[in-house]
A and B are shown apart, each in its own frame.
Chain A
């Protein structure tokens, strides 16, 4: 029972959506279902956020290594929740001044805005920017001409790296005759992006599409039911 009902739900829902796609009268259905999903995803945050806090509380109460940092997480989490839910520092919407709650929570000067700009932005965007170092270490270590494949990888990467900046033009402009201009790295880069890169990506995309079809079918035919848990 515990597996049969959800399996039936999955199969019926999946096939219904496939069929609905071909009938104009039912074209709203998938939109409805997707809207449910996004509402459910918010509801599920209670599960996720609750779990996050539970784990950190456990760590704090057991005074396990690094419990102080867990404290920071808990305080930050609840701090943002309170500021956000109460719309601290958010003035009303100028079109509806008599509605205290009508303001936009991210408006400049509001509490959430402050947290967003001064905590979330620097932390997440610096984390992202760390990639500048990681691409360098990855290139340094992995791009070695060990075999044909690796050589192709590094040569293409090298050409594109230079071709994407003025260096690709500057290196060749002085001595390359007019008829050989296509050899300039910026032109070569454009060609690589348009020809082999387009083709490689096209093949990968077609493969992924077919893989998606087969994976979906394995679920819809009930062949793959690993997501269902035990009886």
Chain B
């Protein structure tokens, strides 16, 4: 995005008044852009070249002419034309005559001062030219790159260096505490109210001889929430199998149905009741969100399940399901990491697992010390996040309070924001110009 967008052009100087304007008016073509620079795009797979240039003085977005003359369709730049020529290929072969022609690769609009050529071939060498064109198609003389440029492959994406480090850190926390749990160290975690309610709900359904409804949300298996929901389902199905309650799982995706069947079958087997498993109760309805809801609510009012458990990724259907559940007097427990639907579950369900609690639920319910260990690792990730946040806010406040423009505080803040949490690589480049400033 250029910084000189939206500059108003006032009427003050018409074509033919200034010496410069006169000269170019006479030739009826715009003035050329200048300073065309081509560089290999960083952190890519060697198929892109970045170009930048100074806009033509006849470009109304040019600062040189801002406010000094009226728009003149006769010479104003409508777009730029970028041409490319192959200088050398990656192999020893000669460049064919066809390749060594100048060909048009892009026509960016007026005001643009950069463009990335993504049709380059790895390790090929190129030259570029640029010219400006007006509404009549008249073109300016061209400006060419001073040096040729080679599209190179970077082995490692340095802009993601800190992301890699954070990934290793977070993974490390979790692995460390899982190992600690493995070595027999007891790890304390607080209680989550909603989880106890799940067992009670299944128990009540058993007493009343009514089924338990379990909805895995409407997302496909390619969403982590659905997978988290499956692990909760595993536990609920096991409890249901032990108590002898029926569990009904309508799904919105075919793959979720397939995965849920595996999960429930295994749970029944683990509970020692493989014969009680009824695959038909885990069934697909339709991919269409509201058609799915229509089917599920229809089931609810007809079969009146005693417990409704919603675990997974939900959208607007959350409230339709939960209010229908309320109407039939079912105990309802919900868990989702969909922030937009939490208010509705909170308002209409007996218990709601909020965001992270939902992900933690599968670990809690498993009673497996290794999984509980991973919760402690998760907390360490949170510690780190809180510390980063506090340090960053402290630095930013000090800078704003002391009105600093440079120095240690500014450098530290920029390092945290742009390198640690941003995409500007491992360490600030010396003499780094601030991003987004083109003028």
Contacts and interface: CB of A to CB of B under 8 A. Distances in A.
Q: Is chain B a partner of chain A in the same complex? A: yes
Interface of A: 18, 21-25, 27-28, 34, 37, 40-41, 44-49, 51-52, 55, 58, 66, 120, 123-125, 127-128, 130-131, 134-135, 137-139, 141-143, 153, 201, 204-208, 210-219, 221, 223-224, 226-230
B157 A55 contact: no
Contacts of A22: 156-157, 160, 163-164
A139 B288 CA distance: 27
B262 A138 contact: no
Given A127-B293, A213-B170, A51 B257 contact: yes
B12 interface: no
Contact of B359 (A131, A215, A221): A215
Contact of A127 (B160, B285, B320, B378): B320
Interface string B371-394: 100110110011001000000000
Contacts of B170: 210, 213
B227 A215 contact: yes
B254 A138 contact: no
Contacts of A44: 253-255, 258
Given A23-B157, A128-B316, A131-B320, A228 B224 contact: no
Contacts of B283: 51-52, 55
B200 to A, nearest CB: 21
Interface string B170-188: 1100110010000000000
B347 A139 contact: yes
Given A23-B157, A215-B224, A229-B266, A223 B374 contact: yes
B430 to A, nearest CB: 24
Interface residues of B, number: 86
Contact of B263 (A213, A214, A227): A227
Contacts, number: 209
A208 B347 CA distance: 20
Contacts of B371: 218, 223-224
13 contacts: A24-B157, A37-B222, A52-B283, A58-B280, A120-B291, A134-B320, A153-B347, A205-B355, A210-B356, A211-B228, A213-B171, A224-B363, A227-B263
B156 A23 contact: yes
B259 interface: yes
Contacts of A134: 319-320, 323
Interface of B: 43-46, 153-157, 160, 163-164, 167, 170-171, 174-175, 178, 220, 222, 224, 227-228, 230-231, 234-235, 251, 253-255, 257-259, 262-263, 265-267, 269-270, 280, 283-291, 293-294, 302, 316, 319-320, 322-323, 326, 337, 339, 342, 344, 346-348, 354-356, 358-360, 362-363, 366, 368, 370-371, 374-375, 377-378, 381-382, 385
A101 B277 CA distance: 46
Contacts of A201: 339
A224 B231 CA distance: 8
Given A210-B356, A211-B360, A215-B228, A40 B255 contact: yes
